[in-house]
Amino acid sequence: MILLFLVSGLFLGWSLGSNDAANVFGSAVGSKMISFRKAAIIASVFVILGAVLQGKGASATLDKLGAVNAIGGAFTAALAAAVTVHLMTKLTIPVSTTQAIVGSIIGWNLFTGNPTGSKALTQIVSTWISGPIVGAAIAILLYIALKAVKKKSGIHLVRFESWIRTSLIIVGAFGAFSLGANNIANVVGIFIPAFNLEGLNLGLFTLSSSQQLFLLGGIAIAAGILTNSENMMNVVGNQIVELSSEAALVVVFSQAIVLFIFSSSGLSSMITGIGLPPIPMVPVSSTQVMIGSIIGIGLYKGVRNINFGILGEIGIGWVATPVLSGLLTFFSLFFVKNIFGIDVGHKLTDLQEPAAANMAGQITGTGLSHILKYFLLSVLFAGIAAIIYFYFLERKKKREFRRSEERFWSNLK
C-alpha cells in the first residue's frame, strides 16, 4: 500500500515538473533564446542534483503535508494537489504548486474537523497581490537598467545575445537546482520515515535511504519537465507578452531577487539595523512573481503588448487552484475513508504526531531496496546514455552539414 501512496507523491512530482519548470526556463524557451530540448535536459539534470544534494527532507514537509496525521490522508491530499496542478498544466495555466498543497490541507482540515488558521488563507491571498506587484516593479527597474547598459556599452548585438543566452542557462541551472532542493519535500518528504533502504553505492559516493527517495522524486520532476512542460514554457515566455532576449533574462533575475528579498531574514534585520522598517516575511510564489515580472515588462513596453485574455485565465487559475484542490481533497477523503476503509486522519490533539512519524519503520526489506536500486541505476544509465546519444547525434548532423556545404561550393566552382 505504501508503494501505491508513493506513486501519488511521484505523480505530484511529475505535475510539479510540468508546471514549475516554466518558472525557471519559460522565458528563455518562449523567447527562443534556448531550445526546449536543451532547456529540458539542463533543468532535468539540475533538478535531480538539487533534490539529491540539497533536498530539504521531512522538516520542510512537516510544515505542509506533515500536518496530516495519517498516511492515507497525506496520500489523498498529495494526489488531489497533483491532479489540480496537472489539470492546470493541461489548460496551460501556470499555477503555484505550494498553493495547491495548501488548498489540499485546508480540504483535509475541513474533512477531519481541524481548524484552519487564518494564516493559511492570508498566505494564499497575500501572495496573489504582493508577488506580482513586487515582481513587476523590480522587473521594470531591471529592464530599464539593462537597456541603459546595452545602449551605453555599444556591445555588438551578436555578442550581447550570446551573453544573455549564457546567463539564461546559468541562472536557469541554478533555478532548477533550487526547484529540486526546495520542492522535493513536497514530493517524497512525507515518505522518508516510512522507508529504510540499504545505501546505494555508486562508486564515488553512496546514496542514503532518503537520498534514494529524493533521487526518485527528482526523476519524477525531471520526467514532468521532459514530457509535459513545453506548452507551459511557451505560454509563459511568448503568449502573455512577447518577450525579447533581455526581457527573458530580466524575468528570471527579478524572480530570484524578489524571492531573496522576501525570504531573507538577514536582509530584513540589516534594514531594521539602519533604522528602516523591516521587510515583511510574506511567502511569495515563484510562479506569481514571474507572471508579475512579465506583466511589468508588458506595462513598460505599453499595455497593448499584454494579452489580457491569457492573463485573465491565469488569474482565474490562481483562485481556482487552492479551491479545486481543497474540494478535490475533501471529496476524495470521503471515498478513501468510507469505500476503501483507509484511515485518513482525525482531529489533532497536542499528543498526536503527524503522518510521517506515524509510519516510521514500516518499509525496510532488502527486496524493495534491490528493486529500487536497480530501477534508479537503470534510469541513471539510460539518462546518461540518452545524453551521450544526443551529443553524438548533434555532432554527426553538424559534420554532415559541413560536408554538404563543402560539396555545394566545390560543385559551384
Interface positions with another protein (CB under 8 A): 31-35, 151, 154-159, 161-163, 165-166, 169, 244-245, 301, 398, 401, 405, 409
> For another protein, which is the closer residue by CB, 154 or 203?
154
C-alpha count within 13 angstroms, C-beta hemisphere, residue 170: 7
From the number of C-beta atoms within 10 Å of its C-beta (0-12, 13-18, 19+), residue 225 rates as: buried
At closest approach, how far in Å is the CB of 390 from another protein?
15
In the complex, the smallest distance separating the C-beta of residue 195 from another protein, rounded to whole angstroms, is: 39
State the nearest-atom distance from the C-beta of 331 to another protein, in Å: 46
Q: How far is the CB of 31 from another protein (least distance, A)?
A: 7
C-beta of residue 285 within 8 angstroms of C-beta of residue 96: yes
- For cell 514530457, what's the residue? 227
Nearer to another protein, 87 or 168 (CB): 168
Distinct helix (H) and strand (E) counts, the chain:
15, 2
Residue whose CB is less far from another protein, 63 or 394 = 394
DSSP label at residue 198: P
CB closer to another protein out of 34 and 43: 34
Judged by beta carbon, residue 116 or residue 239, the one nearer another protein is: 239
Look at residues 142, 187, 194 and name the one whose alpha carbon lies nearest to residue 354.
194
CB of 163 to another protein, least distance (A): 6
Distance CA 41, CA 18 (A): 13
Supply 103's cell numbers.
488548498
Residue number with CB closer to another protein (56 or 301): 301
**Rg of the chain taking only CA atoms, in angstroms:** 23
Cα–Cα distance between 291 and 255 in angstroms, integer?
9
How buried is 151 (Cβ within 10 angstroms: 0-12 exposed, 13-18 middle, 19+ buried)?
exposed
State the minimum distance, in angstroms, from the CB of residue 159 to another protein: 6
Which one-letter amino acid corresponds to residue 71? I
Alpha-helical regions (H) of 91-208: 97-112, 118-153, 157-188
Closest CB to another protein among residues 248, 359: 248
Question: Rounded to an integer, what distance in angstroms lies between the CA atom of residue 9 and that of residue 201?
Answer: 25
Please list, in sequence order, all residues whose beta carbon lies within 8 angstroms of the beta carbon of residue 244, skipping any fewer than 6 positions away: 31
Of 8, 13, 1, 2, nearest in space to 216 by CA:
13
C-alpha cell at 332: 476524495
Q: Which is nearer to another protein, 33 or 344 (CB)?
A: 33
